[in-house]
Structure 1
Amino acid sequence: MTSLPVGGPLGLALLLTLFAVATTVDNIDGAWSPWSSMSTPCSKSCGGGVNLKVRSCTNPSPQGSGKLCLKMDLINRADKEWRSFDCNTQSCWGLVWGNWSNCSAPCGKGVRTRLSMCGTEVCTGSMANKQSEPCNDWNITACPSPCDNMTCPQFGVCKDKSTAKEPIAFCICTMGYEMNPDKTSCIRPPPTTPTPRPIPTLPPEQKVVATVISKSASTLIIIMVSITLGLFVFLRVYTTDRVIQMNMEIALLLAHILLIIPGSVTKVPTACTAVSILVHLFFTACFMFMLLEALHMYSLVAFIVKKDGMFTKLQNILVGWGVAALVILVCMAFQLDNYGGDYHCWLRMDTPLVYGQFMPILIIIILTFALIEAAGAVNYKPLTGMDRTQLVSAKISQRTNLIIMPLVFSHWMVGMLSEYEQNLPLYGTFSILNGVTGVAVFILHSSNNQQVREKLQGCYRSMCKGSAVTR
């Protein structure tokens, strides 16, 4: 056998070649082993838990330049990987409940709850259940009053009505207030709607008599006032005091002319409203001119002026009708719908308009009496150059006004009441007062005027002389 050379360049090359062949190994990628049969304990004993298993990159292990195993996320590589697996998925709820919770309202009525138990744990998912029931921890001796924690609205106070079984408290309103429907505030109660007054009626035969009486009474006063006006026009007496009386008579005359308008006309609502407004205007003006007459009288009797009073004729007319019109306009602004009635066209007494009817007239009457009283209460110092004729007429007017004004007021009041109540005896009283008022206006207005007295006396003498000559 020939021996191999071991020295020299050729032997060295041969040794290197043999070493490279001996150290050359294949490159093998690693692969996962099966998931381990062993695992961590299940997180739940029933109702669906999880446990962990492991696998390793040893089937085979990577060799040479081989790669580690690719994890389940297909991104990272590792030599081991853990994974969770479902375990104990069987239902473990067998109508087992946990303990009841505390009552939601200590010292009162509330609710308590309990949860379903899956084994020793609270169930989750589809097996999670809850039960609720009312509870009552109220103790009337140990618990505080329920009013301690209750806030009532303004004008309200808490009322404790607790019993041994339950706390009871509620807010009540004071000072005339009432609780609103949602129990959140105290409000003023709305005004109560009064029961409508039934319309009074008279039997047909009595109604005919009442109509005849009332219209006859108005006709009587129309005749007497017309005679008075005609007398002064015939005698051409237009002094200041007479102009005041004349306007008072005209207002009274127009008011009663309206009262004899046929019922067929006043059945029209618009016509009835107009009649009611005008009746109010004329009676108010009538009383206003009696006040001006008292003022005229006072200015002469108290020696404030020498003659003709404080106002001129035109001023008296404007003041008398102007104040009356102002009163009516104010009433119309607020109570126009209440003028006129369902069964009469006098001034209505069952509405707020009654204040606009009576208050101004009562004020006028009080002022008139005050002036009459003041004129006769003190001895005033006379003025030089005083018109004695007017002074005498003023003193007579002071007394006549005390008769005429109560008569006018009485027949005005009785007339309204008779229509409002549809009362036959009141109609009869109204008729009598109208006759007395008409006669009183004629006699007293004629007698308290010096010029009329002188002219009537002159006429009387002329008639007497003519009678003597004839004889």
Structure 2
Amino acid sequence: MTSLPVGGALGLALLLTLFAVATTVTNINGEWSPWSNMATPCTKSCGGGVNLKVRSCTNPSPQGSGQLCLKMDLVSRADKEWKSFDCNTQSCWGLVWGNWGNCSVHCGKGVRTRYSMCGTDVCNGTMAKSQSEPCNDWNKTACPSPCEDMTCPQFGVCQDKSTVQEPIAICVCTMGYEMNPDKTSCIRPPPTTPTPRPIPTLAPEQKVVATVISKSASTLIIIMVSITLGLFLFLRVFTTDRVIQMNMEIALLLAHILLILPGNVNKIPVACTVISILVHFFFTACFMFMLLEALHMYSLVAYVVKKDGMFSKAQNVLVGWGMAAFVVLVCMAFQLDNYGGDYHCWLRMDTPLVYGHFIPIIIIIILTFALIEAAGAVSYKPLTGMDRTQLLSAKISQRTNLIIMPLVFSHWMVGMLSEYEQNLPLYGTFSILNGVTGVAVFLLHSSNNQQVREKLRGCYRSMCKGSAVSR
């Protein structure tokens, strides 16, 4: 066997080495290079055009069995790819603006405008572009008042409220008028709703004392008036003047009976309303019968009639109760909802109903005093056949009415105020006035009736004789 030359052996070894290296090369996929800095010319010089840039699959290039780069569509592969980019996006209008024009309003706020001419590419319209902004040409010292050009509605005047920055003029209504929501006219304001009056309260122990005082006072006057009525019924005195007084006493008695009803009745709205109406009715009737008594007295003292007064017994009763009912019905027609209160059942003095209570009674009192004054003002010519007994009773009644009416009016007023104000001292005053009024009614009504005086005098004589016989 022949051996290879040394040179041949070395060459064969080199070839085997190169083959072994070639068979061990790694497979590498290709990757894209960055987009090229160079690009194709822009399709437009302004207004937004496009140009193209390229990238190659050389970062790194594919090796061995490696793949070409994946294109942007994520489907196909290539060794290079083109992409469009925006260019020359600036406006085709020139960027150099002219000076601002004058403000559109003199001495006020307006707008001002400036223009830019067309650039290098195709431009539309008037070959110029405008730009506007607010402006203020106001100068408080040099400019006239804005009120000079402003017209206000009737009953309105202009007021200049301008500042350094802007002219301001407003229309203000006068003479109690107010501007309507549209700022177009001055109107009368609607009546304001008064703030509800807070309900006055007493401490629990004071409330107990007030209740005892007020009910005791009413009980006292009920007792004294009942004694007066019982006395005249027992003596069977039913003259015209006595019938008038009797109805006055009945009205006063019924009013106070209502006032001693349980205090929790004010929690029943309907019952409280009925009580308030009846109290109003009975007190009005009480004053009305005092007016009829004064009229009866005047007709005798002034010698208008010889006896029994101007009206019969039935007429006096009808007029007294009828006029009181008329006053109350008128008040109910307009102010029914205001009868009764949240915490008492007398008079709500914060409502218009107070006028329905006070005005008729004050008119009645004025007329009563006018009749009393007229009866004693001058000397009248006596009538032939005058009933001297009734004349004497009328003259006494003339004086007793001057005492009883102020007492009734005072305790009526103080009673209403004490309930309305929930005032303990007023309750005490009410109690005292009730006692004085009850005693005054008993004594004065008993003493001013001639028949009562005679019967009491006869009873006294009989008692005296009886005591003398027993001795």
TM-score bucket (shorter structure): 0.7 to 0.9
Instruction: Tell me the equivalent position of 1:296.
Output: 296
Equivalents in 1 of 2:129, 2:258: separation in Å? 89
Instruction: Tell me the equivalent position of 1:347.
Output: 347
What are the residue-to-residue correspondences of 1:82-121 with 2, within 5 Å? 93-95=93-95, 97=97, 100-114=100-114, 117-118=117-118
Instruction: Tell me the equivalent position of 2:337.
Output: 337
Instruction: Tell me the equivalent position of 1:389.
Output: 389
Output the TM-score relative to the length of structure 2: 0.76
Post-superposition CA distance 1:338-388 (Å, at most 9, x none): 111111111122222212111211111111111111111111122222221
Instruction: Tell me the equivalent position of 1:171.
Output: 171
Aligned residue for 1:133, secondary structure, equals: strand
Answering whether residue 234 of structure 2 is matched by residue 223 of structure 1, we say no
Instruction: Tell me the equivalent position of 2:455.
Output: 455
Tell me the number of residue pairs that the alignment of Structure 1 and Structure 2 aligns.
Answer: 383
The answer to which of 342-351 and 132-141 deviates more is 132-141
Cα drift, residue 142 of structure 1: 4.5
Report the CA distance shift for 1:212/1:109 in structure 2 as closer, same or farther (over 3 A). same
Equivalents in 1 of 2:330, 2:287: separation in Å? 18
Report the CA distance shift for 1:220/1:115 in structure 2 as closer, same or farther (over 3 A). same
The two structures, once aligned, show a CA RMSD in angstroms of 2.6
Aligned residue for 2:93, secondary structure, equals: coil
The answer to which of 108-117 and 332-341 deviates more is 108-117
Post-superposition CA distance 1:188-221 (Å, at most 9, x none): 3344443333222222222222211111111111
The answer to which of 273-282 and 126-135 deviates more is 126-135
Cα drift, residue 163 of structure 1: 4.1
Answering whether residue 154 of structure 2 is matched by residue 154 of structure 1, we say yes
Answering whether residue 241 of structure 2 is matched by residue 233 of structure 1, we say no
Equivalents in 2 of 1:293, 1:370: separation in Å? 13
Cα drift, residue 115 of structure 1: 5.1
Aligned residue for 1:103, secondary structure, equals: coil
Equivalents in 1 of 2:406, 2:138: separation in Å? 76
Instruction: Tell me the equivalent position of 2:256.
Output: 256
Aligned residue for 2:455, secondary structure, equals: helix
Instruction: Tell me the equivalent position of 2:470.
Output: 470
Instruction: Tell me the equivalent position of 1:367.
Output: 367
What amino acid sits opposite 1:353 in the alignment? L
Report the CA distance shift for 1:381/1:114 in structure 2 as closer, same or farther (over 3 A). farther
Cα drift, residue 267 of structure 1: 2.3
Cα drift, residue 93 of structure 1: 2.2
Aligned residue for 1:433, secondary structure, equals: helix
Structure 1 residue runs of 4 or more that deviate by more than 4 Å after TM superposition: 96-102, 123-130
Cα drift, residue 256 of structure 1: 0.4
Cα drift, residue 241 of structure 1: 1.1
Report the CA distance shift for 1:118/1:442 in structure 2 as closer, same or farther (over 3 A). same
| 2:308–2:390 CA contact under 8 A, matched in 1 | yes
Instruction: Tell me the equivalent position of 2:195.
Output: 195
Equivalents in 2 of 1:308, 1:217: separation in Å? 35
| 1:96–1:118 CA contact under 8 A, matched in 2 | no
Answering whether residue 318 of structure 2 is matched by residue 314 of structure 1, we say no
Equivalents in 1 of 2:296, 2:163: separation in Å? 79
Cα drift, residue 277 of structure 1: 0.9
Report the CA distance shift for 1:442/1:100 in structure 2 as closer, same or farther (over 3 A). same
The answer to which of 333-342 and 270-279 deviates more is 333-342
| 1:200–1:422 CA contact under 8 A, matched in 2 | yes
What amino acid sits opposite 1:265 in the alignment? V
What amino acid sits opposite 1:447 in the alignment? S
Unaligned runs of 5+ in 2: 1-45, 48-90
Answering whether residue 422 of structure 2 is matched by residue 422 of structure 1, we say yes
What are the residue-to-residue correspondences of 1:120-131 with 2, within 5 Å? 124=124, 130-131=130-131
Answering whether residue 275 of structure 2 is matched by residue 285 of structure 1, we say no
Cα drift, residue 106 of structure 1: 2.0
Equivalents in 2 of 1:117, 1:134: separation in Å? 22
What amino acid sits opposite 1:456 in the alignment? L
Aligned residue for 1:195, secondary structure, equals: coil
Equivalents in 1 of 2:210, 2:126: separation in Å? 92
Equivalents in 1 of 2:402, 2:415: separation in Å? 20
Post-superposition CA distance 1:204-262 (Å, at most 9, x none): 22222221111111111111111111111222211111111111101000000001111
Instruction: Tell me the equivalent position of 1:210.
Output: 210
What amino acid sits opposite 1:454 in the alignment? E
Post-superposition CA distance 1:131-154 (Å, at most 9, x none): 322222234454332112111122
Equivalents in 2 of 1:453, 1:345: separation in Å? 40
| 1:220–1:435 CA contact under 8 A, matched in 2 | yes
Post-superposition CA distance 1:403-436 (Å, at most 9, x none): 0011111111111122122222222221111111
| 1:331–1:356 CA contact under 8 A, matched in 2 | yes
Aligned residue for 2:94, secondary structure, equals: coil
Equivalents in 1 of 2:114, 2:313: separation in Å? 100
Report the CA distance shift for 1:165/1:459 in structure 2 as closer, same or farther (over 3 A). same
Cα drift, residue 279 of structure 1: 0.6
Equivalents in 2 of 1:347, 1:196: separation in Å? 16
| 2:266–2:342 CA contact under 8 A, matched in 1 | no
The answer to which of 246-255 and 170-179 deviates more is 170-179
Output the TM-score relative to the length of structure 1: 0.76
Cα drift, residue 164 of structure 1: 4.6
- Identical amino acids, percent of aligned pairs: 89
What amino acid sits opposite 2:396 in the alignment? I
What amino acid sits opposite 2:239 in the alignment? T
Unaligned runs of 5+ in 1: 1-45, 48-90
Post-superposition CA distance 1:58-104 (Å, at most 9, x none): xxxxxxxxxxxxxxxxxxxxxxxxxxxxxxxxx85224556655433
